[in-house]
Amino acid sequence: MDPLTLGALVALVTILVLFSGVSVAIGLLIVSAGFLIIFDGMRSLELMPEILFGKLDNFALLSIPMFIIMGSSIASTRAGADLYEALERWLSRVPGGLVVSNLGACALFAAMSGSSPATCAAIGKMGIPEMRKRGYPDGVAAGSVAAGGTLGILIPPSVTMIVYGIATETSIGRLFLAGVFPGLMLVGLFMAWSLYSTWRSGEASRLSAGSYTWAERFEILPRVLPFLAIILGVLYAMYGGIATPSETAAVGALLCLLIAMIIYKLWHPAELWVVLRDSTKESVMILFIIAAAGVFSYMLSSLFITQSIAEWIGTFDVNRWVLMGAVNVFLLIAGFFLPPVAVILMAAPILLPIITSAGFDPIWFAVVLTINMEIGLISPPVGLNLYVINGIAPDIPLKTILLGSLPFVACMVIAIILLCLFPGIATWLPNAVMGTSI
């Protein structure tokens, strides 16, 4: 069988196996084992544990549990609510300040916690009732928080970006920087839409903001600044060339835990264990998918599938933007069903050679891919964020949440188009900070 037909067969079998409900990592191992037995013989099974171990044998992977500990210790505190309140107090004079501070709090908290569902829960619990009380339409209130929560996988530090960096062997530092301006652009688009649709609903005149004294504004800062300072410190240490992402993340994890214990009084062993247990659960899940995807990509390349697909695409004389469009559609569909980490790990080894040979920048592509994954987080059938919002605001019908999120999906599509027209939005910052050579 020629490698291309084989590739199509692998794709089909993988889809069937994953949709059976088996866990993603195990599914990848099953598919890999099956094809290796048929085309390379039983003996190739012997290699699987060795390859799996080898894929995990990488110091960069340490940054994954470390950033997860940072995020979950922040998420276990009241930091989300404090952040929200701080922005509300500081932005109360800005027109539509509430939705602006909501989205701002989402962006900041999503960046700090790195978790979409945690962001939706933390900000949404305060933000959604407050927005509804002040006359914002339900759809805008729910949709803005759902969409704001997805920013965590784009704005640094992002575990998703680390996984992409490891899967494609691109610089994690560059990837983090590449996410900054597209992240801000998305926040801007989200804000623009929220303000526009609120104004259009005719409720804008009622949107009065609370007023706060300067004492109230300063009083809240000591509770939100430490976490922000740690995140900025971690990023500074990374770019100052002081330490590797893994090392700075370990220090950041320790500091975030300490701050959660000191400022938020999270010192009871049972509470600390919850943070540690959740971090362990999340880290093990992601690392196991990374390891299994490593075995999967070993199978793909030992059966010459990866190489043949790249060559095959090369023989097409299609416009590179048509190719990029097709890749986007593929990613979008995959993102509807699979968690971002799984999509990246399965798709990156196949897509990267195609992307680079068509002359696209892998760092820029990471941003486009990530925004595609963000769309998946607020679209059915998976749309984790939609269900989280439904859980914290049960009286808003799921349909309203869904319809409210749709315009934000459109904002993301616009962001992808803008990135295609002006790749510099993503690539300028990493090049300016770290030089243009890859």
Applying CB under 8 A, the residues found at the interface with other proteins are: 18-27, 29-30, 33, 45-50, 52-53, 56-59, 61-62, 65-66, 69, 242-243, 246-247, 250-251, 253-254, 273, 276-277, 279-285, 287-289, 291, 337-339, 342, 381-384, 387
Task: Provide, rounded to whole angstroms, the least separation between the CB of residue 234 and other proteins.
Answer: 12
Residue (of 76, 103, 26) closest to 272 by Cα position: 76
Q: Is 32 within 8 Å of 295 (Cβ atoms)? A: yes
Of 345 and 419, CB closest to other proteins: 345
Task: Provide, rounded to whole angstroms, the least separation between the CB of residue 28 and other proteins.
Answer: 10
| Residue spans of alpha helices (H) in 41-171 | 47-56, 63-75, 79-90, 97-113, 116-133, 138-149, 159-168
223 Cβ neighbours under 8 A, 6+ residues apart: 78, 79, 82, 86, 263
The whole-angstrom separation of Cα 85 and Cα 94 is: 15
Using only the alpha carbons of the chain, give its radius of gyration.
22
Task: Provide, rounded to whole angstroms, the least separation between the CB of residue 97 and other proteins.
Answer: 34
Task: Provide, rounded to whole angstroms, the least separation between the CB of residue 232 and other proteins.
Answer: 18
CA torsion sign, 201 to 93 to 217 to 149?
positive
145 Cβ neighbours under 8 A, 6+ residues apart: 102, 106, 120, 123, 124, 127, 128, 389
Helix (H, G, I), strand (E, B) or coil at 78: coil
Residue (of 228, 163, 84, 426) closest to 92 by Cα position: 84
Of 333 and 438, CB closest to other proteins: 333
Buried b (16+ CB within 10 A) or exposed e, 389-403: bbebbeebeeebbbe
Task: Provide, rounded to whole angstroms, the least separation between the CB of residue 338 and other proteins.
Answer: 6
The whole-angstrom separation of Cα 196 and Cα 376 is: 24
Of 59 and 218, CB closest to other proteins: 59
Task: Provide, rounded to whole angstroms, the least separation between the CB of residue 263 and other proteins.
Answer: 20
Tallying the residues shown for the chain, one arrives at 438
Of 101 and 116, CB closest to other proteins: 116
Buried b (16+ CB within 10 A) or exposed e, 237-271: bbeeeeebbbbbbbbbbebbbebbbebbebeeeeb
Of 150 and 427, CB closest to other proteins: 150
Task: Provide, rounded to whole angstroms, the least separation between the CB of residue 335 and other proteins.
Answer: 10
Task: Provide, rounded to whole angstroms, the least separation between the CB of residue 289 and other proteins.
Answer: 8
Task: Provide, rounded to whole angstroms, the least separation between the CB of residue 160 and other proteins.
Answer: 14
Of 359 and 381, CB closest to other proteins: 381
**Torsion angle of alpha carbons 67, 163, 56, 54, nearest 10°?**
-160
Residue (of 410, 432, 427, 379) closest to 182 by Cα position: 427
Of 339 and 423, CB closest to other proteins: 339
Of 4 and 15, CB closest to other proteins: 15
Residue (of 36, 4, 110, 17) closest to 67 by Cα position: 110
Of 69 and 419, CB closest to other proteins: 69
Task: Provide, rounded to whole angstroms, the least separation between the CB of residue 284 and other proteins.
Answer: 4
Report residue 264 as tokens: 């938020």
Of 196 and 387, CB closest to other proteins: 387
